[in-house]
Structure 1
Amino acid sequence: MTRPIIGRVVPERWRTTGATAPGQRTVGEPGTARIAVDLLGGDQAPAVVVDGALRACRADPSLHLTLVGPADAADAVLAALKPGDRRRITTAITPTDTISGAVAAVAQGRADALVSAGDTRATVLAAARELGRWPGIRRPALTAVLPTVAGRVVLLDVGSSVDPDEETLAWHARLGAAYAAVVYQVPAPRVGLLTIGTEPGKGDRLRRALPNLLVDLPLPGGARYAGLVEGGDIVLGRAADVVVTDGFTGNVLLKGLETAYALTRPPSPDKTPPPRAALLLGVSGTVVVCHGAAAGPDLAAGIALAADLHRRASVAAIADLLRYSEVSHD
């Protein structure tokens, strides 16, 4: 299991409606989930974040939110809630650098997870610095789940490492396999490498070099390397359960498919499509990143995802599967 990390304190002014006192590390009641929400994250923040926080709070009576941002945005959430629900809200009044404030809430034990639709690079850097990276992980991976004809596929990276090397993508293959095995209970996940064709030697230098490494790479959860996959294979979902690519290509693919599905409908037979949010894997904490263009329902789904991952201790279980026991702040 990963050990908790005490992060550096960022300047902020805490107001509480009955929750944690400033600087006090606590553990939530069984079944509760304490989620730090970056109120200024997103293109339409804080309005859409306020909307998402209200939706999430009303849908989950065991949810406790720490709202990190300016006082007026936090007050908009409190004013819209019933008096009984307001006791589940803590505010951290931070006019700027709200991402660092949200990360610090997790690092200092005041929250169990965080959600932000803010700048991806700033979120990744703050999480890596304050929460610590798992050994061997130089670049954490943003991990998303897409609906497919066959069910769903885990896609990583979708925006964290835009120019990775072979070692980074090899680690991402491990992370994706562990994620599929732990969160979705996929037996022996099939891991594919995204490229422009399934014939050997297709793709750029990185894609030509990586298959030789992935073939012999030990993967967690009984996973195995399934070979090269194309974009169409992701929609069908029959060739691989996990698809590895660089963050540039993954982000373009993710946004393109999500927009197409929004205009038509997701191909998944599941009644509930996966949330439009990504988990940052490779840091010692639960960090969920939403699109900058996320709407209120997307933010609510991201908060619900963070709460579910915390309640199931998913990040710790993934770390256990990968046999990690400590984190690095290098």
Structure 2
Amino acid sequence: MREPGTARIAVDLLGGDQAPAVVVDGALRACQADPALQLLLVGPVEAADAVLAALGPADRGRVCAVAAPTGPHAQDRDVSSVESGVRSAVLAVAQGLADAVVSAGNTGATVTSAALGLGRWPGVRRPALTAVLPTAAGRIVLLDVGSSVDPDETTLAMHARLGAAYASVVHGVAAPRVGLLTIGTERGKGDRLRRAVPAVLAALDLPAGGSYAGLVEGNDVVTGAPADVVVADGFTGNVLLKGLETAYALLGAPNPGEVPPRAAVLLGVGGTVVVCHGAASGADIAAGIGFAAALHRRAAVPAIADLIIGPEAPATDRKTPDPQSARGGS
């Protein structure tokens, strides 16, 4: 029987620019920081052995290795080998062996593996990578930040609902205000999609008493005043997120000591999936693992699903990931 508060996190050892070394470092940091954490390290067994060797005897029982198909050598990180790690990590959640997935690998591979392996919520055509940024007025939820680079009106409307539910469940925001990111706040600004979506969002029934707050610009994301949630396509959201991450690292965040976490949660699939930045450090990976554990312990993803699709609704389009299914993305 599991101890209360235990979180079992499947960690993709092959995900990230400096994997597996940086992921091993992050996994070790996370395990040492959280005594109720259990890790399934998915990838080369020798990399998982490095974590076990660094832990004391009392902690080694909290970590186990799950072999994933790889190239003939540990350093052979070709595309199929790298993607096999996240597919196997997702499968561990689908089979009930883990409570959440953490990967710093290819975004497209992670999103596709999660959608196929865990299923999408009814009404969700494209899941949304959801990040939280520090602002001068607190925190702001930004989505999508890399999953759907060419969405349509229906997708952005669903992402608005996902963002409002996330702000309510995770950050306790009452009646979240949802804004649309564009190049100006005057009516008619932006491309064809951005000109069409405001009417859709204004008529939308947003969860948690949310409301459409109108158009916002990039500078509004830093001040945080106009909205609690900002909706963007995945291309623009990713560019904005990485730009702000770098600016805050060089110049300091609006709130001293608070920097953007290099991890985002994937909303709209039937499980907890956290995606870390490809250039994440060991500390970033550890933070991503801690984030996934916190989401699981709070049952945040099921609570968000309840607001979007109602309780007891099953995920859809669920399939077992196959070797060729997780291609694409950034």
Give the one of 289, 302, 306 matched to 1:320: 306
Which residue in the other structure is 1:118 paired with? 105
Which residue in the other structure is 1:87 paired with? 61
- After superposition, the CA RMSD in angstroms is 1.1
Residue aligned with 2:89, SS: helix
Give the one of 222, 239, 263 matched to 2:250: 263
Amino acid at match of 2:165: A
Any idea what the Cα deviations from partners look like across 1:223-271, whole Å, max 9, x if unmatched? 00000000000000011000000000000000000011111211126x5
Q: TM-score, length-normalised on structure 1?
A: 0.90
Amino acid at match of 2:316: S
- Hey, what's the Cα distance between the residues in 1 that align with 2:103 and 2:151? 23
1:287 aligns with 2:287: no
Amino acid at match of 1:38: D
Identity score, percent: 72
Give the one of 204, 224, 233 matched to 1:237: 224
- Hey, what's the Cα distance between the residues in 1 that align with 2:62 and 2:261? 23
Amino acid at match of 1:195: T
- Hey, what's the Cα distance between the residues in 1 that align with 2:109 and 2:162? 21
Aligned residues: 303
Runs (5+) with no aligned partner, structure 2 = 71-80, 319-330
User: Contact 2:122–2:309 at 8 Å: present in 1 too?
Assistant: no
Residue aligned with 2:59, SS: helix
Give the one of 220, 224, 239 matched to 1:252: 239
Which residue in the other structure is 2:149 paired with? 162
Return the offset for 1:327.
1.2
- Hey, what's the Cα distance between the residues in 2 that align with 1:122 and 1:29? 33
Amino acid at match of 1:160: S
User: Contact 1:64–1:89 at 8 Å: present in 2 too?
Assistant: yes
Return the offset for 1:274.
5.0
- Hey, what's the Cα distance between the residues in 2 that align with 1:158 and 1:274? 13
Which residue in the other structure is 1:329 paired with? 317
- Hey, what's the Cα distance between the residues in 2 that align with 1:195 and 1:317? 30
Return the offset for 1:51.
0.7
Which residue in the other structure is 1:77 paired with? 51
Return the offset for 1:323.
3.1
User: Contact 2:27–2:51 at 8 Å: present in 1 too?
Assistant: yes
Return the offset for 1:185.
0.4
Any idea what the Cα deviations from partners look like across 1:28-87, whole Å, max 9, x if unmatched? 421010000000000000111011001100100000000001011111111111111111
- Hey, what's the Cα distance between the residues in 1 that align with 2:173 and 2:151? 26
Return the offset for 1:273.
4.2
Amino acid at match of 2:30: A
Which residue in the other structure is 1:6 paired with? none
| Comparing 91-100 and 295-304, the one that deviates more | 91-100
Which residue in the other structure is 2:262 paired with? 276
Which residue in the other structure is 1:222 paired with? 209
Amino acid at match of 1:219: L
Runs (5+) with no aligned partner, structure 1 = 1-26
Which residue in the other structure is 2:321 paired with? none
Return the offset for 1:275.
2.3
User: Contact 2:248–2:259 at 8 Å: present in 1 too?
Assistant: no
Which residue in the other structure is 2:291 paired with? 305
- Hey, what's the Cα distance between the residues in 2 that align with 1:33 and 1:272? 25
Amino acid at match of 1:164: P
Amino acid at match of 1:44: Q
User: Contact 2:130–2:267 at 8 Å: present in 1 too?
Assistant: yes
1:52 aligns with 2:40: no
User: Contact 1:36–1:113 at 8 Å: present in 2 too?
Assistant: yes
Which residue in the other structure is 1:147 paired with? 134
Pairwise mapping of residues 178-189 of structure 1 onto structure 2 (< 5 A)? Answer: 178-189=165-176
Return the offset for 1:221.
0.4
Which residue in the other structure is 1:5 paired with? none
Give the one of 186, 195, 200 matched to 1:208: 195
- Hey, what's the Cα distance between the residues in 1 that align with 2:3 and 2:309? 28
- Hey, what's the Cα distance between the residues in 2 that align with 1:50 and 1:214? 43
- Hey, what's the Cα distance between the residues in 1 that align with 2:294 and 2:261? 12
